[in-house]
Amino acid sequence: MLVTLDLQDSPKVAGLRSVFGTLFYPVEGVARVITRPVGNAWYGVTHYNKLLDENSLLRQQVAQQEGATVAAAASVRLSQELLALNGLPTLAGINAVTAQVIGESPTSFSQTIEINQGAESGIRVGMPVLNAAGLIGKITKVFTNRSFVMLITDPDFSISVKVVSTGRKTTDSTVLGITSVTTSTAVPLEPISNTPDAETTTTTTTTTPIAGFTAVVTTLPATPKGLTSITIPSASELDVRETGVIQGNGPTRQPTVRFIDNSLRFGSIEAGVPIVTAGGSRSLAPPDVLIGVVSRVVERVGSAGPLLEIEIAAELTNLSFVRVLLYQPITEKKSP
Least CB distance to another protein at residue 156 (A): 4
Residue 264 touching another protein (CB under 8 A)? no
Least CB distance to another protein at residue 33 (A): 9
Give dist(CA 187, CA 229) in Å, integer.
8
Give dist(CA 68, CA 8) in Å, integer.
48
Instruction: Specify the residue, 255 or 286, whose C-beta has the smaller distance to another protein.
Output: 255
Instruction: Label the pairing between strands 307-312 and 256-258.
Output: antiparallel
Q: Are the beta carbons of 315 and 94 closer than 8 angstroms?
A: no
Neighbour count for residue 163 (Cβ, 10 Å): 24
**Bridge partners for 324 per DSSP:** 97, 129
- Please report, as a single letter, which amino acid is at residue 36: R
Residue 318 touching another protein (CB under 8 A)? no
Give dist(CA 100, CA 320) in Å, integer.
6
Choose the binding region for another protein from 63-71, 151-159, 195-203, 219-227 (rule: CB under 8 A): 151-159
**Region for 126 from its dihedrals, namely left if φ exceeds 0, alpha if ψ lies in -120 to 50, beta otherwise:** left
Least CB distance to another protein at residue 218 (A): 52
Choose the binding region for another protein from 80-88, 147-155, 231-239, 276-284 (rule: CB under 8 A): 147-155
Instruction: Specify the residue, 2 or 238, whose C-beta has the smaller distance to another protein.
Output: 2
Residue 47 touching another protein (CB under 8 A)? no
Instruction: Specify the residue, 223 or 247, whose C-beta has the smaller distance to another protein.
Output: 247
Residues that bind another protein (CB under 8 A): 1-7, 13, 16-17, 20-21, 23-24, 27-28, 30-32, 35, 38-39, 42, 46, 103-110, 112, 140-141, 148, 150, 154-156, 248-253
